[in-house]
Structure 1
Amino acid sequence: MNDKKQQLIITALNLFNERGINSVGINEVLAVSGIAKRTLYLHFSGKDELILATLAWRDGIFLRWLAERLSGASSAESVVSSLFQALDDWFRNEVQELRPFNGCFFINTAAEMRSPASPIGQYCHDHKMKVRELLRQHLPDMDEEFIDLLCFLKEGAIVSAYVNQDKEAAKKCLSLAIKALNH
Protein backbone atom coordinates (compact mmCIF):
# COMPACT_ATOMS: atom_id res chain seq x y z
CA MET A 1 0.00 0.00 0.00
CA ASN A 2 1.17 3.49 -0.83
CA ASP A 3 2.70 5.26 2.21
CA LYS A 4 0.54 8.37 1.82
CA LYS A 5 -2.63 6.31 1.49
CA GLN A 6 -1.72 4.36 4.61
CA GLN A 7 -0.93 7.60 6.45
CA LEU A 8 -4.35 9.00 5.48
CA ILE A 9 -6.10 5.83 6.69
CA ILE A 10 -4.26 5.74 10.00
CA THR A 11 -4.77 9.45 10.63
CA ALA A 12 -8.47 9.24 9.77
CA LEU A 13 -8.93 6.12 11.91
CA ASN A 14 -7.33 7.80 14.92
CA LEU A 15 -9.46 10.92 14.52
CA PHE A 16 -12.70 9.02 13.79
CA ASN A 17 -12.11 6.63 16.67
CA GLU A 18 -11.45 9.50 19.07
CA ARG A 19 -14.24 11.86 18.04
CA GLY A 20 -16.59 10.06 15.66
CA ILE A 21 -16.97 10.04 11.90
CA ASN A 22 -19.44 12.93 11.79
CA SER A 23 -17.28 15.22 13.94
CA VAL A 24 -14.19 14.96 11.75
CA GLY A 25 -14.03 16.46 8.29
CA ILE A 26 -11.72 15.76 5.38
CA ASN A 27 -9.88 19.04 5.91
CA GLU A 28 -8.98 18.03 9.47
CA VAL A 29 -7.69 14.64 8.28
CA LEU A 30 -5.57 16.49 5.72
CA ALA A 31 -4.26 19.01 8.25
CA VAL A 32 -3.29 16.34 10.80
CA SER A 33 -1.78 14.01 8.20
CA GLY A 34 0.05 16.79 6.35
CA ILE A 35 -1.12 15.34 3.04
CA ALA A 36 -2.48 17.44 0.18
CA LYS A 37 -6.15 17.30 -0.79
CA ARG A 38 -5.18 16.25 -4.33
CA THR A 39 -3.35 13.21 -2.94
CA LEU A 40 -6.36 12.23 -0.82
CA TYR A 41 -8.62 12.32 -3.87
CA LEU A 42 -6.15 10.21 -5.85
CA HIS A 43 -6.82 7.44 -3.33
CA PHE A 44 -10.40 8.06 -2.18
CA SER A 45 -13.42 9.42 -4.05
CA GLY A 46 -14.77 10.99 -0.87
CA LYS A 47 -15.22 10.70 2.87
CA ASP A 48 -17.36 7.54 2.71
CA GLU A 49 -14.61 5.71 0.84
CA LEU A 50 -12.08 6.90 3.42
CA ILE A 51 -14.38 5.68 6.22
CA LEU A 52 -14.63 2.27 4.53
CA ALA A 53 -10.82 2.14 4.32
CA THR A 54 -10.52 2.93 8.04
CA LEU A 55 -13.06 0.21 8.83
CA ALA A 56 -11.08 -2.29 6.75
CA TRP A 57 -7.84 -1.27 8.47
CA ARG A 58 -9.33 -1.59 11.96
CA ASP A 59 -11.04 -4.85 10.97
CA GLY A 60 -7.69 -6.40 10.10
CA ILE A 61 -6.01 -5.15 13.26
CA PHE A 62 -8.84 -6.28 15.53
CA LEU A 63 -9.26 -9.73 13.97
CA ARG A 64 -5.51 -10.46 14.04
CA TRP A 65 -5.36 -9.37 17.68
CA LEU A 66 -8.36 -11.42 18.74
CA ALA A 67 -7.25 -14.50 16.77
CA GLU A 68 -3.85 -14.30 18.46
CA ARG A 69 -5.47 -13.98 21.91
CA LEU A 70 -7.68 -17.02 21.29
CA SER A 71 -4.98 -19.13 19.62
CA GLY A 72 -3.60 -20.76 22.76
CA ALA A 73 -6.98 -21.81 24.13
CA SER A 74 -7.47 -25.58 24.16
CA SER A 75 -10.92 -25.93 25.75
CA ALA A 76 -14.24 -24.12 25.54
CA GLU A 77 -13.67 -22.63 29.00
CA SER A 78 -10.21 -21.36 28.05
CA VAL A 79 -11.59 -19.81 24.83
CA VAL A 80 -14.25 -17.98 26.84
CA SER A 81 -11.69 -16.91 29.45
CA SER A 82 -9.27 -15.75 26.75
CA LEU A 83 -12.00 -13.72 25.04
CA PHE A 84 -13.01 -11.80 28.14
CA GLN A 85 -9.44 -11.38 29.38
CA ALA A 86 -8.59 -9.91 25.99
CA LEU A 87 -11.54 -7.53 26.26
CA ASP A 88 -10.51 -6.60 29.82
CA ASP A 89 -7.01 -5.73 28.58
CA TRP A 90 -8.49 -3.64 25.75
CA PHE A 91 -10.82 -1.74 28.10
CA ARG A 92 -7.85 -0.92 30.33
CA ASN A 93 -5.80 0.40 27.37
CA GLU A 94 -3.29 -2.43 27.68
CA VAL A 95 -3.53 -3.41 24.01
CA GLN A 96 -1.15 -1.17 22.09
CA GLU A 97 -2.66 -1.81 18.65
CA LEU A 98 -6.18 -0.93 19.86
CA ARG A 99 -5.38 2.08 22.06
CA PRO A 100 -7.02 4.22 23.17
CA PHE A 101 -10.24 2.45 24.14
CA ASN A 102 -13.14 4.55 22.86
CA GLY A 103 -15.70 1.79 22.61
CA CYS A 104 -16.06 -0.29 19.46
CA PHE A 105 -15.23 1.62 16.29
CA PHE A 106 -17.78 -0.51 14.38
CA ILE A 107 -20.62 0.03 16.86
CA ASN A 108 -19.86 3.75 17.03
CA THR A 109 -19.64 4.12 13.25
CA ALA A 110 -22.83 2.14 12.62
CA ALA A 111 -24.68 4.26 15.17
CA GLU A 112 -23.47 7.48 13.54
CA MET A 113 -24.39 6.28 10.04
CA ARG A 114 -27.92 5.36 11.11
CA SER A 115 -28.32 3.30 7.94
CA PRO A 116 -27.57 -0.41 8.35
CA ALA A 117 -28.10 -0.91 4.60
CA SER A 118 -25.41 1.58 3.56
CA PRO A 119 -22.01 0.22 2.52
CA ILE A 120 -20.55 1.56 5.78
CA GLY A 121 -23.34 0.03 7.87
CA GLN A 122 -22.92 -3.25 6.01
CA TYR A 123 -19.16 -3.26 6.66
CA CYS A 124 -19.82 -2.81 10.37
CA HIS A 125 -22.23 -5.75 10.26
CA ASP A 126 -19.75 -7.87 8.32
CA HIS A 127 -17.05 -7.18 10.92
CA LYS A 128 -19.32 -8.44 13.69
CA MET A 129 -20.04 -11.58 11.64
CA LYS A 130 -16.29 -12.16 11.18
CA VAL A 131 -15.77 -11.93 14.94
CA ARG A 132 -18.66 -14.34 15.45
CA GLU A 133 -17.12 -16.75 12.94
CA LEU A 134 -13.76 -16.53 14.70
CA LEU A 135 -15.46 -17.49 17.97
CA ARG A 136 -17.34 -20.28 16.15
CA GLN A 137 -14.02 -21.65 14.83
CA HIS A 138 -12.60 -21.77 18.35
CA LEU A 139 -15.77 -23.31 19.79
CA PRO A 140 -16.76 -25.90 17.18
CA ASP A 141 -18.67 -28.08 19.65
CA MET A 142 -20.86 -25.29 21.00
CA ASP A 143 -24.39 -24.73 19.70
CA GLU A 144 -25.54 -21.51 18.03
CA GLU A 145 -27.44 -20.45 21.15
CA PHE A 146 -24.21 -20.37 23.16
CA ILE A 147 -22.38 -18.49 20.39
CA ASP A 148 -25.26 -15.96 20.39
CA LEU A 149 -24.97 -15.58 24.15
CA LEU A 150 -21.21 -15.12 23.94
CA CYS A 151 -21.59 -12.44 21.25
CA PHE A 152 -24.30 -10.64 23.23
CA LEU A 153 -22.12 -10.68 26.34
CA LYS A 154 -19.10 -9.47 24.36
CA GLU A 155 -21.03 -6.60 22.79
CA GLY A 156 -22.66 -5.70 26.10
CA ALA A 157 -19.30 -5.66 27.83
CA ILE A 158 -17.88 -3.31 25.20
CA VAL A 159 -20.80 -0.90 25.43
CA SER A 160 -20.85 -1.01 29.24
CA ALA A 161 -17.10 -0.46 29.47
CA TYR A 162 -17.40 2.63 27.29
CA VAL A 163 -20.80 4.16 28.07
CA ASN A 164 -20.83 3.34 31.80
CA GLN A 165 -17.04 3.49 32.18
CA ASP A 166 -17.36 0.04 33.79
CA LYS A 167 -13.85 -1.32 33.44
CA GLU A 168 -15.00 -4.51 35.20
CA ALA A 169 -17.57 -5.30 32.48
CA ALA A 170 -15.52 -8.06 30.83
CA LYS A 171 -14.90 -9.81 34.15
CA LYS A 172 -18.62 -9.65 34.97
CA CYS A 173 -19.48 -11.15 31.61
CA LEU A 174 -16.84 -13.85 31.98
CA SER A 175 -18.52 -15.28 35.07
CA LEU A 176 -21.90 -15.29 33.30
CA ALA A 177 -20.45 -16.99 30.21
CA ILE A 178 -18.71 -19.66 32.32
CA LYS A 179 -21.98 -20.35 34.17
CA ALA A 180 -23.81 -20.73 30.86
CA LEU A 181 -21.04 -22.98 29.54
CA ASN A 182 -21.27 -25.30 32.53
CA HIS A 183 -25.05 -25.71 32.44
Structure 2
Amino acid sequence: MNKKRQLLIDTALTLFYAKGINHTGINEVLSVSGVAKNTLYNHFESKEALIIATLEQRHTLFIEWLTSKLEGADSDQQVITQLFTALAQWFTHCDPILGDFRGCFFINSSAEFSDQGGQISLFCKQHKQQCRDLIGQSLTNKDASLLDAICLMKEGAISTAYVSGDVTIAKKCITLLNITAKNIN
Protein backbone atom coordinates (compact mmCIF):
# COMPACT_ATOMS: atom_id res chain seq x y z
CA MET A 1 0.00 0.00 0.00
CA ASN A 2 1.15 3.51 -0.78
CA LYS A 3 2.73 5.14 2.31
CA LYS A 4 0.77 8.38 2.01
CA ARG A 5 -2.49 6.50 1.55
CA GLN A 6 -1.72 4.49 4.67
CA LEU A 7 -0.77 7.63 6.57
CA LEU A 8 -4.11 9.20 5.63
CA ILE A 9 -6.01 6.11 6.80
CA ASP A 10 -4.06 5.90 10.06
CA THR A 11 -4.51 9.60 10.77
CA ALA A 12 -8.20 9.62 9.88
CA LEU A 13 -8.88 6.51 11.97
CA THR A 14 -7.17 8.03 15.00
CA LEU A 15 -9.07 11.31 14.63
CA PHE A 16 -12.43 9.73 13.76
CA TYR A 17 -12.24 7.37 16.72
CA ALA A 18 -11.13 10.08 19.16
CA LYS A 19 -13.41 12.91 18.02
CA GLY A 20 -16.11 11.37 15.86
CA ILE A 21 -16.37 11.37 12.09
CA ASN A 22 -18.66 14.37 11.73
CA HIS A 23 -16.50 16.42 14.10
CA THR A 24 -13.36 15.72 12.09
CA GLY A 25 -12.96 17.59 8.85
CA ILE A 26 -10.79 16.69 5.91
CA ASN A 27 -8.62 19.75 6.59
CA GLU A 28 -7.81 18.42 10.06
CA VAL A 29 -6.85 15.02 8.61
CA LEU A 30 -4.60 16.82 6.11
CA SER A 31 -3.07 19.08 8.76
CA VAL A 32 -2.28 16.25 11.18
CA SER A 33 -1.01 13.89 8.48
CA GLY A 34 0.96 16.55 6.61
CA VAL A 35 -0.41 15.23 3.31
CA ALA A 36 -1.55 17.58 0.54
CA LYS A 37 -5.23 17.81 -0.42
CA ASN A 38 -4.51 16.67 -4.00
CA THR A 39 -2.79 13.55 -2.67
CA LEU A 40 -5.80 12.77 -0.49
CA TYR A 41 -8.17 13.04 -3.45
CA ASN A 42 -5.83 10.94 -5.61
CA HIS A 43 -6.38 8.11 -3.12
CA PHE A 44 -9.96 8.77 -1.97
CA GLU A 45 -12.73 10.19 -4.12
CA SER A 46 -14.60 11.50 -1.07
CA LYS A 47 -14.64 11.66 2.71
CA GLU A 48 -16.98 8.65 2.63
CA ALA A 49 -14.32 6.62 0.78
CA LEU A 50 -11.81 7.58 3.48
CA ILE A 51 -14.31 6.59 6.18
CA ILE A 52 -14.81 3.18 4.55
CA ALA A 53 -11.02 2.70 4.41
CA THR A 54 -10.77 3.46 8.15
CA LEU A 55 -13.62 1.04 8.89
CA GLU A 56 -11.88 -1.65 6.83
CA GLN A 57 -8.62 -1.12 8.70
CA ARG A 58 -10.28 -1.18 12.14
CA HIS A 59 -12.32 -4.24 11.09
CA THR A 60 -9.21 -6.17 10.09
CA LEU A 61 -7.45 -5.20 13.31
CA PHE A 62 -10.46 -6.07 15.48
CA ILE A 63 -11.11 -9.44 13.82
CA GLU A 64 -7.43 -10.39 14.20
CA TRP A 65 -7.56 -9.28 17.84
CA LEU A 66 -10.78 -11.19 18.52
CA THR A 67 -9.43 -14.32 16.83
CA SER A 68 -6.29 -14.22 18.98
CA LYS A 69 -8.31 -13.68 22.16
CA LEU A 70 -10.57 -16.68 21.49
CA GLU A 71 -7.75 -19.05 20.50
CA GLY A 72 -7.28 -22.10 22.66
CA ALA A 73 -10.69 -21.97 24.33
CA ASP A 74 -11.87 -25.53 24.77
CA SER A 75 -15.23 -24.91 26.45
CA ASP A 76 -18.02 -22.39 26.18
CA GLN A 77 -17.16 -21.06 29.64
CA GLN A 78 -13.59 -20.53 28.50
CA VAL A 79 -14.79 -18.66 25.37
CA ILE A 80 -16.86 -16.40 27.62
CA THR A 81 -14.03 -15.83 30.07
CA GLN A 82 -11.42 -15.15 27.39
CA LEU A 83 -13.72 -12.80 25.44
CA PHE A 84 -14.81 -10.70 28.39
CA THR A 85 -11.37 -10.68 30.00
CA ALA A 86 -10.03 -9.28 26.72
CA LEU A 87 -12.80 -6.67 26.67
CA ALA A 88 -11.95 -5.69 30.27
CA GLN A 89 -8.34 -5.12 29.24
CA TRP A 90 -9.49 -2.91 26.36
CA PHE A 91 -11.90 -0.96 28.60
CA THR A 92 -9.08 -0.17 31.01
CA HIS A 93 -6.71 0.95 28.23
CA CYS A 94 -4.47 -2.09 28.80
CA ASP A 95 -4.69 -3.54 25.30
CA PRO A 96 -1.94 -2.19 23.04
CA ILE A 97 -3.50 -3.66 19.89
CA LEU A 98 -6.85 -1.84 20.14
CA GLY A 99 -5.42 1.21 21.86
CA ASP A 100 -7.28 3.59 24.12
CA PHE A 101 -10.93 2.77 24.62
CA ARG A 102 -13.56 5.13 23.26
CA GLY A 103 -16.39 2.69 22.71
CA CYS A 104 -16.91 0.70 19.55
CA PHE A 105 -15.79 2.47 16.39
CA PHE A 106 -18.52 0.64 14.46
CA ILE A 107 -21.34 1.58 16.83
CA ASN A 108 -20.03 5.15 16.94
CA SER A 109 -19.74 5.36 13.14
CA SER A 110 -23.12 3.80 12.53
CA ALA A 111 -24.73 6.24 14.98
CA GLU A 112 -23.34 9.18 13.03
CA PHE A 113 -24.99 8.11 9.78
CA SER A 114 -28.76 7.64 9.69
CA ASP A 115 -29.00 5.98 6.27
CA GLN A 116 -29.33 2.31 7.22
CA GLY A 117 -28.87 1.35 3.58
CA GLY A 118 -25.76 3.48 3.15
CA GLN A 119 -22.31 2.02 2.65
CA ILE A 120 -21.09 3.02 6.11
CA SER A 121 -24.04 1.51 7.98
CA LEU A 122 -23.90 -1.65 5.88
CA PHE A 123 -20.18 -2.06 6.58
CA CYS A 124 -20.77 -1.65 10.32
CA LYS A 125 -23.54 -4.25 10.18
CA GLN A 126 -21.24 -6.63 8.28
CA HIS A 127 -18.52 -6.15 10.91
CA LYS A 128 -20.92 -7.04 13.72
CA GLN A 129 -22.06 -10.15 11.83
CA GLN A 130 -18.48 -11.30 11.30
CA CYS A 131 -17.74 -10.85 15.01
CA ARG A 132 -20.84 -12.89 15.82
CA ASP A 133 -19.81 -15.61 13.37
CA LEU A 134 -16.33 -15.79 14.86
CA ILE A 135 -17.67 -16.12 18.40
CA GLY A 136 -20.17 -18.74 17.21
CA GLN A 137 -17.40 -20.80 15.61
CA SER A 138 -15.59 -20.87 18.96
CA LEU A 139 -18.55 -22.26 20.89
CA THR A 140 -19.12 -25.97 21.34
CA ASN A 141 -22.82 -25.48 22.11
CA LYS A 142 -24.51 -24.41 18.89
CA ASP A 143 -27.71 -23.26 20.61
CA ALA A 144 -28.45 -19.85 19.08
CA SER A 145 -29.69 -18.49 22.40
CA LEU A 146 -26.22 -18.81 23.95
CA LEU A 147 -24.62 -17.01 21.01
CA ASP A 148 -27.34 -14.34 21.20
CA ALA A 149 -26.70 -13.86 24.92
CA ILE A 150 -22.93 -13.56 24.45
CA CYS A 151 -23.20 -11.10 21.56
CA LEU A 152 -25.84 -8.97 23.27
CA MET A 153 -23.78 -8.88 26.44
CA LYS A 154 -20.63 -8.03 24.46
CA GLU A 155 -22.34 -5.09 22.76
CA GLY A 156 -23.96 -3.99 26.00
CA ALA A 157 -20.68 -4.24 27.89
CA ILE A 158 -18.88 -2.11 25.31
CA SER A 159 -21.60 0.55 25.39
CA THR A 160 -21.94 0.49 29.18
CA ALA A 161 -18.20 0.69 29.76
CA TYR A 162 -17.97 3.71 27.49
CA VAL A 163 -21.11 5.60 28.48
CA SER A 164 -21.04 4.95 32.23
CA GLY A 165 -17.33 4.37 32.70
CA ASP A 166 -18.11 1.08 34.48
CA VAL A 167 -15.08 -0.94 33.43
CA THR A 168 -16.10 -3.78 35.76
CA ILE A 169 -19.04 -4.62 33.49
CA ALA A 170 -17.04 -7.25 31.58
CA LYS A 171 -16.44 -9.26 34.76
CA LYS A 172 -20.16 -9.08 35.58
CA CYS A 173 -20.90 -10.43 32.12
CA ILE A 174 -18.61 -13.43 32.69
CA THR A 175 -20.59 -14.43 35.76
CA LEU A 176 -24.00 -13.98 34.13
CA LEU A 177 -23.03 -15.73 30.92
CA ASN A 178 -21.45 -18.70 32.65
CA ILE A 179 -24.74 -19.21 34.51
CA THR A 180 -26.60 -18.96 31.20
CA ALA A 181 -24.21 -21.40 29.48
CA LYS A 182 -24.66 -23.96 32.26
CA ASN A 183 -28.45 -23.69 32.05
CA ILE A 184 -28.43 -24.16 28.27
CA ASN A 185 -26.22 -27.26 28.43
The bucket for the TM-score relative to the shorter chain is: over 0.9
Residue of structure 2 in register with 1:72 after alignment: 72
Q: Which amino acid aligns with 1:62?
A: F
Residue of structure 2 in register with 1:114 after alignment: 114
Residues 54-98 of structure 1, C-alpha deviations (whole Å, 9 max, x = no match)? 000000000101100101211111111100001000101111121
Aligned residues: 183
Mapped partners of 1:85, 1:72: distance in 2: 14
- Quote the RMSD (CA, aligned, Å): 0.7
Residue of structure 1 in register with 2:39 after alignment: 39
Mapped partners of 1:177, 1:117: distance in 2: 33
Residues 14-54 of structure 1, C-alpha deviations (whole Å, 9 max, x = no match)? 00000100000001000000000111111100100000000
**TM-score calculated relative to the size of structure 1:** 0.98
Is 1:130–2:119 an aligned residue pair?
Answer: no
* 8 Å contact from structure 2 (residues 75, 140) kept in 1: no
Mapped partners of 1:60, 1:108: distance in 2: 17
Mapped partners of 2:39, 2:102: distance in 1: 29
Residue of structure 2 in register with 1:95 after alignment: 95
Alignment of 1:8-87 (within 5 A): 8-87=8-87
Q: Which amino acid aligns with 2:90?
A: W
Point out where structure 1 has 5 or more consecutive residues left out of the alignment.
Answer: none
Aligned with 1:97: secondary structure? coil
* 8 Å contact from structure 2 (residues 113, 121) kept in 1: yes
Mapped partners of 1:78, 1:163: distance in 2: 27
Q: Which amino acid aligns with 1:102?
A: R
Aligned with 1:59: secondary structure? helix
Q: Could you list the runs of 4 or more consecutive aligned residues of structure 1 that deviate by over 3 angstroms after TM superposition?
A: none
Point out where structure 2 has 5 or more consecutive residues left out of the alignment.
Answer: none
**TM-score calculated relative to the size of structure 2:** 0.97
Q: Which amino acid aligns with 1:174?
A: I
